[in-house]
Amino acid sequence: MVEHRYLGLGDKTKLYLSDSDVRRLHEQRRVTQQNGLALLEHQFGRDPVPAHSRRQAHLYLLAEPIAGQPGMLLDLVHGPGAPQRLLDLARHADAPGVQQALRAIGGGGFNPSLAWASDFALRSAGAALTYGLNSDRSLSPAHGTSAEDAVELEVDEDGALRIFMSRLRDSPPSADPEGGDQRLLPIAVVSYARQFVALTAAAAEHAGYFGNWILAAGATGITGLPVHDYLLRGHAGPRYHAPDYQRASIASYAELVRQPAAVTERLVGRLLRSLGVYEIYARALTDPSVPDQQLV
């Protein structure tokens, strides 16, 4: 509100909104976010690791264009050269700005990294790059730290993007894999979320879609786990008490490009605060100041 009036921005002019306009917009945002959480629940249900054999916590990220066009990413997932085009898109996860943010929090060494997902596979709505999964999304023989390690980047021809990563918790190398020395790895949450925001921006630019996106982040299998960052300091630290973590947000194309850290914070900041590690990763969740003239 400015001078007792709600100010909005149209295509070319400023708009003044009524109380009912503002309430309607907030309700639309709430409904859209609820839709994002429903999509996230669906991803929980299609986890490629069978429930009876899960030993690690899993991370999920998704993005859907709110007003996208059918086939907006069709050329990325089908036709001659599609595997290379999808790999080229995935490289945006390691853009200089992302690398700089992750180096600031010591996030360059987490494995399995998103870059490990390089096997091309067709999907019912598009295609995927995978690591540790067969073409039918079943687990393949272990190549990483454990038999459960898997990474997947799915891209739908209509614009949706999804990431699945199965190593959100792990044991130190010297621990008994069947023992109780599992610890939660917040560095994985921040690293993957920052990379995913960059991928969403790259997909939007590729499609020429400059509208809004619904984004969501979720985690399962994290209840009651000690946090790795605290154990390194000899403390037990807080433990997450809810059955899972779910968070959805709306982001414009401009935010994805100009304020990727702020978008990342909206997705995973609440989880980090609940674990008492927000300050450790704050540098990756804060965008550098940009002069106003550079935002035009």
pLDDT of 174 over the 50 cut:
no
In this structure, are residues 277 and 229 in contact, taking their beta carbons and an 8 Å threshold? yes
pLDDT interval class at 236 (50, 70, 90) = confident
Strands (E), 44-125: 58-65, 119-122
Nearest CA to 190 out of 280, 258, 253 is that of: 280
User: Bridge partners of 127?
Assistant: 122, 155
Identify the pLDDT of residue 292. 45
Output the average pLDDT for the chain. 87
Assigned domain for 44 exists: yes
For residues 189 and 85, the answer to whether their CB atoms sit within 8 Å is: no
Structural domain range at position 236: 6-295
Domains contained in the chain, number = 1
For 20-70, what is each residue's pLDDT tens digit?
655 555 545 555 667 889 999 999 999 999 999 888 999 999 999 999 999
In a domain, 276, yes or no: yes
Considering the domain boundaries, does residue 166 fall inside one?
A: yes
Residue 187 has pLDDT above 60, yes or no: yes
Residue 15 lies in a domain: yes
Helices (H), the chain: 19-45, 74-77, 82-90, 96-104, 186-207, 228-231, 253-258, 260-274, 278-281
Residue 186 belongs to a domain: yes
Distance of alpha carbon 251 from alpha carbon 267, whole angstroms? 10
Angle between helices 186-207 and 96-104 (to 10 degrees): 170
Instruction: Answer whether residue 201 is part of any domain.
Output: yes
Is 208 within a domain? yes
Which pLDDT belongs to residue 293?
41
Is the pLDDT at 295 greater than 80? The verdict is no
Residue 1 lies in a domain: no
Per-residue confidence at 179, pLDDT binned at 50, 70, 90? very low
Residue 280 near residue 105, CB atoms below 8 Å: yes
